[in-house]
Structure 1
Amino acid sequence: MEKNMIDNFEKAAELIVKSKYTIAFTGAGISVESGIAPFRGRGGLYEKVSSRIFDLDYFYSNTKSCWYLLLKYILIPLLNAKPNEAHIKLSNLESMGFIKAIVTQNIDSLHEKAKSRNVIKFHGTADRFKCIKCGKNYQFNDLFSNSLVEKIEKEDPLKMIAEEGYIDKEEIEELKIDHDFDVPKCQICGSIIKPEIVFFKEPIPEDALNLSFNHAQNAECLLIIGTSGVVYPAAMIPQIVKKNKGKIIEINPEESEYTNSITDLFIKSSASKAMIELEKSIMKFRGL
């Protein structure tokens, strides 16, 4: 490892250890090494399907197609996803008291799988579902059978779309495929069930918004991992920390919206590699 990189980890370790209140702010980049594609950028989900699958109007007007695509590209891939070293090392730092809270934009629940305790899910979660009318909660296994999951895993919806004549991903709202499943309906009132993911045009859950902003206002140090800083209002969290004189440590494989504006210490690296080295540096700084 180059000396300047070693120096950066040592500086980051010192900032975190000396801070009385450090929080982490994570995005899609922390989960890439768990096999979960980001939404944006090269190889991202939006290269395959339109972002309209997260549009509330599309969900209500094309519910069956939307559910199918969410299952294929989001919900089923997350079923067996496992936390990587970045999630695990971050959880370790939390358990040792260095990280007070983790604010994540991710819906994959990998922080919880890594045994992190104080996780705020800014954009909701993909492992819980709720009736849009009466609010009854459901788990994945309450709604979908193993045989359906296996069938959808084998299918190629992009090929199916092309065969139907809808090759342009931006025309996805016109998708008409005879999906071999029923839209999940509430067992109590019969209304549509929706994933507890924050769709476009939906407000951020009030508790998540307030908790996240409160942590940001109290933070003396913020550890950014794997987010580009383009999605609002989540992107405001580092700005709040900076406004309150907090230090910003950023771990990203490429520069982000934060790098040349508010970041104090930029570590250009994948999340797992950086978190392994950061944990070592913190232990060394503490003499452990």
Structure 2
Amino acid sequence: MNLAEARAALRSARRVAVLTGAGVSAESGIPTFRDAQTGHWARFRPEDLASPGAYRRDPETVWQWYAGRYADVTRARPNPAHLLLADLERQKGGGFFLATQNVDGLHARAGSGSGGGRLVELHGNLTTARCEVCGTVAPLPAPEDFTPPPSCPVCRSRMRPNIVWFGEYLPEDALEAATNAFREAEVALIVGTSGVVYPAAGLALEARGAGAVVIEVNPEATELTSSLSYSVRDVASWGLAALLEAGQSR
């Protein structure tokens, strides 16, 4: 398959499923989880900040870490890759499904999930918290007004970051919806993800196994490349612009 054929397949598809990873948000200045471990946080292992055990041992430190990341994503802005995907959703309507591994909420801020399709945040969202007792999910106050930990607006219990931590399963309903969407897709886009984090990475293989055209957008080859239909070797915004013939030029 070549670029022209990939464009034609995407243009004619009625059912399109998209998986996005950290490479999409990198262009908005959002560091990856490990890249964010600088300064004071460089001495911590990931398991010290993002696991149920860490939270049980030291919820204050965990909340300080997440409050800082929350402030960072609040300052960030959606980039052209987010906007192009939101526009693609408006074109495809109910046949569009976007599953993201990112937790920054930038897809929703760009308009994804409100153009007739569906947005699923597989790993949670930094801008919300979840009650430890009743499960209520609520938005965090503005960073300048936020003193962690937040209290549940329903039962007043302590809330935890609404993030899937190491050792936790993805939300069953979100994963089931994503799996079904990729199995039913005519075209699947895998954008800005290394393809090593499962079960999300397995969505590309679900689509390919069901006969879909699966197109990767990533600057470098990934674990999935050899199994896919076509790869655009570029950052997310430029690669999507090339696929969608969005008229951008370097």
Shorter-normalised TM-score: what interval?
A: 0.7 to 0.9
Alignment of 1:53-72 (within 5 A): 53-72=49-68
3-state SS, counterpart of residue 116 of structure 1:
coil
The 2-side partners of 1:270 and 1:182 are apart by 35
Count of residue pairs brought into register by the alignment: 237
2:169 pairs with 1:197:
no
**Pair 17,136 (structure 1): closer, same or farther in 2 beyond 3 Å:** closer
The 1-side partners of 2:233 and 2:222 are apart by 10
The 1-side partners of 2:153 and 2:207 are apart by 44
3-state SS, counterpart of residue 254 of structure 1:
coil
3-state SS, counterpart of residue 78 of structure 1:
helix
User: For structure 1, which runs of at least 5 residues remain unmatched after alignment?
Assistant: 1-6, 149-180, 283-288
2:16 pairs with 1:22:
yes
Letter in 2 for 1:271: A
The 1-side partners of 2:213 and 2:182 are apart by 11
**Pair 257,136 (structure 1): closer, same or farther in 2 beyond 3 Å:** same
**Pair 90,186 (structure 1): closer, same or farther in 2 beyond 3 Å:** closer
The aligned residue for residue 272 of structure 1 is 237
The 1-side partners of 2:23 and 2:184 are apart by 25
- Over the aligned positions, Cα root-mean-square deviation in angstroms equals 2.2
C-alpha displacement of 1:190: 4.6
With the length of structure 2 as denominator, give the TM-score of the two structures. Answer: 0.86
C-alpha displacement of 1:187: 5.5
Letter in 2 for 1:25: L
The 2-side partners of 1:186 and 1:258 are apart by 41
The 2-side partners of 1:145 and 1:112 are apart by 19
The aligned residue for residue 50 of structure 1 is 45
The one of 191, 194, 210 equivalent to 1:228 is 194
**Pair 182,264 (structure 1): closer, same or farther in 2 beyond 3 Å:** closer
**Pair 46,219 (structure 1): closer, same or farther in 2 beyond 3 Å:** farther
2:181 pairs with 1:215:
yes
Identity across matched positions, percent: 31
Alignment of 1:1-288 (within 5 A): 8-39=2-33, 44-46=35-37, 48=42, 49-52=44-47, 53-72=49-68, 74-97=69-92, 100-117=96-113, 118-141=118-141, 146=144, 183-186=149-152, 189-260=155-226, 262-280=227-245
The aligned residue for residue 173 of structure 1 is none
Q: Which protein, 1 or 2, shows the higher relative CO under an 8 Å CA cutoff with sep ≥ 6? A: 1
The 2-side partners of 1:204 and 1:147 are apart by 30
**Pair 94,137 (structure 1): closer, same or farther in 2 beyond 3 Å:** closer
**Pair 24,145 (structure 1): closer, same or farther in 2 beyond 3 Å:** closer
- Note the alpha carbon deviations across 1:146-192, whole angstroms, 9 max, x for none: 166xxxxxxxxxxxxxxxxxxxxxxxxxxxxxxxx553344654532
The 1-side partners of 2:64 and 2:173 are apart by 29
The 2-side partners of 1:250 and 1:182 are apart by 39
Do the aligned residues in 1 keep the contact of 2:52 with 2:167 (CA within 8 Å)?
A: yes
User: For structure 2, which runs of at least 5 residues remain unmatched after alignment?
Assistant: none
**Pair 75,182 (structure 1): closer, same or farther in 2 beyond 3 Å:** closer
